[in-house]
Amino acid sequence: MIETERLLLRPPEPRDFEPLHAMWSDPEVMRDLGPVKTTAHSRATIARHLGYGPSHGIGFHAVERREDGAVIGFCGLKPGAPDTPIADELEIGWMFARACWGKGYAREAAAAWLDWAWRHRAEPRVVAITAACNLPSQALMARLGMRWLVDFEHPVQPQGHRLRPSVAFAIDRP
């Protein structure tokens, strides 16, 4: 578990499914991230991230607001996606409920994960990717001190899809 002033970052538990699925099934939250998830896809996403723990010592965690215990996001580290410029690198990512946008929670959670990575991992840098149209995520990457690395076409998106043009950012170990 990682603790910040306002947040607890912890592996997802069964009680977290509903708030996480609510985010993944919200078309506005998913607009620049990918398709809205079904219940089965949400369960598979949680299982995949829990699977990174035993094999890699990482994974995305539920982001719990300390003041009321509400699960408001999903943030963490994972191996970079195959067939992308960040394959097998240490990738950071985040997703937050729409009601929590603009309140600094994503920056607080991501900064805590970066601090954790520098203390517990040996990688020379941490990377992030997003769709080129996802300007809020790119702005957060810049606020975290990440720099643009490369533009690329994300292979999971079909030709012509608005999410296919993508960008990668990186931050070097301090």
Segment 128-150 shows an average pLDDT of 97
pLDDT at 24 over 70: yes
pTM above 0.85, yes or no: yes
- Whether residue 151 contacts residue 167, with contact meaning beta carbons closer than 8 Å, is answered with yes
Please tell me the distance from the alpha carbon of residue 49 to that of residue 141, in angstroms, as a whole number. 21
pLDDT in tens, 28-84: 998 998 888 888 888 888 787 777 765 567 888 999 999 999 999 999 999 998 999
Segment 95-103 shows an average pLDDT of 96
Percentage of residues in the chain having pLDDT higher than 70? 97
pLDDT for position 38: 86
- Coil, helix or strand at residue 95: strand
